Structure 1
Amino acid sequence: MTNATATKLHYDIVGSFLRPDNLKQARAAQKDGKISLADLHQVEDQAIKDLVAKEKAHGLKIVTDGEFRRSYWHLDTFWGFNGIKHTHAKQGYLFHDEETRNDSAQVAGRISFNPNHPDLAAYKFLYDLTKDDPKITARQSIPAPAQFYAELVRGEENVQALKKVYDSTEDLINDIGEAYRSLILALYAAGCRDVKIDDCTWGMVVDDKFWETMANGDYSREKLEQTYLEANNAALHDLPDDLRISTHVCRGNYHSTWAASGGYDPVADYLFAKENVQAFYLEFDDDRSGDFAPLAKVATGKDVVLGLVTSKRPELEDPQVLIKRVKEASQYVPLEHLSLSTQCGFASTEEGNKLTEKQQWDKIELVVATAEKIWN
């Protein structure tokens, strides 16, 4: 079916959900060799069936598998491509007051699409759960090509491994773009009509302090923006007309912490004006996100999903404040092209954010109820 769902609705989700305890236990048991991978998949299957039923029960028309088959929102996808190996860096990602696990992805050969990519298998299962309900759209979220590029140049070990295979950034971006485009087309062939690319690169490049630490001050913001735009658009061309491509821009979402701060103004001329997507899912849940003024750079006719409801904290926002903020944003993007969502998912990694499952669904109910007040 063609995906008109996202343009008719004005409430949405980013996609990851808190993992149920039995799934966490099963994943730990499989890692320790106590159960088989097939046993883990059975637990995942049932957890995803239960999640989809809950998503429907809470009024969602766009559903995901909660990213229940992943450990990370991004690395699992990277590991699924040919030419990439799972490695461990000297340190994890640095968040405000916390450091993550230190997994990474490193080039081991030329990058290409793997027809047995785990994201494709994951989507096929989700699609089978939803294909007979014309009111439901099954969305697949994948990390952005730019995020893949950023991981492959994160740390000296990754850089040295990269140089053994690729002579130029251009060749690397071309291979990333082709691998991603092949994944997207394979998802489409499997029935997918809604692909969201999650992207922290733009959320990090706005933060001067972050990049001074990350790149030792040796970086050009404009050059980074050009590279990220090229990496993403290398995958997002000549795609089917009825495939909705969107992007979620994040400043870090790990265990209710964050990695970067800064408004969208420094990246608006590249991201909002030139990236080949139909919609932008944007964080606006606190002062770190800046104001709405950069939305004036969003290309005409494109949608903006306002992440005004935080997924990091359990306290519920005031609906009247949300309504007021949507009205403020409509000064820059027409109301019919705006929607409401949480600012990010609830569990970008399997650790999850610091709230309960009930509080998670309370947030979803707030988004749906508030959107219905604004647009109905």
Structure 2
Amino acid sequence: MTQTINRFDHVGSYLRPDYLLEAREKNEAGEITDTELREVENKAILNLIKKQEEVGLKTITDGEFRRASWHCDFFWGFDGVDKITDEPNGSKFEGKVYGITARLSGKISGENHPFIEDWKFTRDHASDDVDVKLTIPAPAQFVQEALREINIEATKKYYASLEDLVEDTIASYSTFVNEAYEAGLKTLQFDDCTWGRIISGKDHTGKQYTDEELNGHKELFLKLNNGVIENAPAGLTVNTHVCRGNFASTWFASGAYNSVANPLFTDENVNTYYLEYDSDRAGGFEPLAEVSGIKNVVLGLATSKDGKLEDKEALKARIKEAAGFVPLNRLGISTQCGFSSNSIGNKLSEEDQWKKISLLKEVAEEVWG
């Protein structure tokens, strides 16, 4: 992997414009066809490409505008996975049940995944001097979803052992990654909440993990993510965003990175870590001393959860502090997460969103030149 870094960056998702949200609602109600919805998505993505390029981003995305969910839409693209949108025991946010999940309906495989054609549309309409990255949930995230209490019965129906599930997950992801690379993809980002679960010490139901369970999860998640990275083409850059939850400006995890620094920072074979550092919930920068080799860190210092603009000098001071643990030439800056990990975005305006990105650019220019 090449060790590249953008000094100011974004995680991937953007607030959906109202007309796109309205079109998705009409599609779900059967009032417009899938083809008509895709035309609206295309319009929104074309506008987003223009805005990202105008603000000076060197790596852009489609904003995840074709997705209802940052992770399940990708899982649903695998063969052997059912689309579930009405699970009564789904994740709870602000007292409401978000009842989507991915449930196995057979052995999984990753051929001809629809995300590749989606990525091609953005690539074909972007300028030649920008990189169109693709964000997908980490392999560890897929297995964690398959092992949730609400899905475990179906998973065991098709996989008698965890080892078999891990093997097929790595193979399915590897198929997707190699097909995406053959289509021209240069930068892939794993979005990963599994480490956030470890940091919080609790599973989806709020049950406390035992020390044995935590150690087992660390070993499992590392094996899954590295297994796919090891099978990736040498010319592909693989990064990861470690997330603590990002639904309608809420979160599920708090705590410093100390408990996951080894093996996450020491042994996960990514090019760059995008890390949430927008609040005291993330702890200090000390665990960054564990980042091995010449890997980079993009500091998520600006929050995407509200519209209040950060103080520029305070951001620069925090970058300087982090440089005490990772050299400045291996650091960048971004928002702590995307602006809309699901169709329901965070509690800020589109104007706030672009002001945040512009501020990051100003800070990067003053710190790195």
What is the TM-score when the length of structure 2 is the normalising length? 0.96
Give the counterpart of 2:89 among 91, 107, 118: 91
Find the counterpart in structure 2 of residue 41 from structure 1: 38
Separation in 1, partners of 2:206, 2:104:
20
Separation in 1, partners of 2:76, 2:183:
21
Q: Could you tell me which amino acid in structure 1 is paired with residue 133 of structure 2?
A: R
How far residue 241 of structure 1 moved from its aligned partner, in angstroms, is 2.4
How far residue 211 of structure 1 moved from its aligned partner, in angstroms, is 3.4
Could you say what secondary structure the match of 1:236 adopts? helix
Q: How does 1:20-59 map to 2 (within 5 A)?
A: 20-59=17-56
Give the counterpart of 2:122 among 118, 126, 137: 126
Q: How does 1:1-376 map to 2 (within 5 A)?
A: 6-7=4-5, 9-87=6-84, 88-95=86-93, 97-115=94-112, 117-130=113-126, 133-155=127-149, 157-208=150-201, 210-211=202-203, 213-215=205-207, 217=209, 220-376=213-369
- Greater shift in the superposed pair: 104-113 or 219-228: 219-228
Could you say what secondary structure the match of 1:221 adopts? helix
How far residue 89 of structure 1 moved from its aligned partner, in angstroms, is 2.7
Could you say what secondary structure the match of 2:240 adopts? strand
User: Does the 8 A contact of 1:307 with 1:341 survive in 2?
Assistant: yes
User: Does the 8 A contact of 1:16 with 1:66 survive in 2?
Assistant: yes
Q: Could you tell me which amino acid in structure 2 is paired with residue 194 of structure 1?
A: T
User: Does the 8 A contact of 2:174 with 2:231 survive in 1?
Assistant: no
Q: Could you tell me which amino acid in structure 2 is paired with residue 341 of structure 1?
A: S
Separation in 2, partners of 1:212, 1:100:
13
Q: Deviations over 1:309-359 (max 9, x none)?
A: 000010000011100000111111110000000000000000000000000
Separation in 2, partners of 1:15, 1:148:
19
User: Does the 8 A contact of 2:92 with 2:98 survive in 1?
Assistant: no
User: Does the 8 A contact of 1:204 with 1:261 survive in 2?
Assistant: no
Q: 1:217 to 1:203 in 2, by over 3 A?
A: closer
Q: Deviations over 1:283-328 (max 9, x none)?
A: 0000111110111111120000000000001000001110000011
Separation in 2, partners of 1:119, 1:126:
11
Q: 1:326 to 1:100 in 2, by over 3 A?
A: farther
Q: Which runs of 5+ in 1 are unaligned?
A: none
Separation in 1, partners of 2:95, 2:359:
29
Separation in 1, partners of 2:35, 2:245:
32
How far residue 204 of structure 1 moved from its aligned partner, in angstroms, is 1.5
User: Does the 8 A contact of 1:3 with 1:194 survive in 2?
Assistant: no
Q: Deviations over 1:115-146 (max 9, x none)?
A: 1x22111111111112xx33200000000011
What is the TM-score when the length of structure 1 is the normalising length? 0.94
Separation in 2, partners of 1:312, 1:274:
30
How far residue 101 of structure 1 moved from its aligned partner, in angstroms, is 1.6
- Greater shift in the superposed pair: 212-221 or 357-366: 212-221
Separation in 1, partners of 2:339, 2:366:
24
- Greater shift in the superposed pair: 180-189 or 348-357: 180-189
Separation in 1, partners of 2:359, 2:289:
27
Q: Which runs of 5+ in 2 are unaligned?
A: none
Separation in 2, partners of 1:370, 1:184:
34
Separation in 2, partners of 1:44, 1:27:
9
Could you say what secondary structure the match of 1:178 adopts? helix
User: Does the 8 A contact of 2:339 with 2:353 survive in 1?
Assistant: yes
Separation in 2, partners of 1:62, 1:19:
19
Q: Deviations over 1:59-115 (max 9, x none)?
A: 1111000000000000000011011101243322234x3444211111111111131
User: Does the 8 A contact of 1:92 with 1:99 survive in 2?
Assistant: no
Aligned pairs, number: 367
Could you say what secondary structure the match of 2:42 adopts? helix
User: Does the 8 A contact of 2:242 with 2:276 survive in 1?
Assistant: yes
Separation in 1, partners of 2:18, 2:258:
40
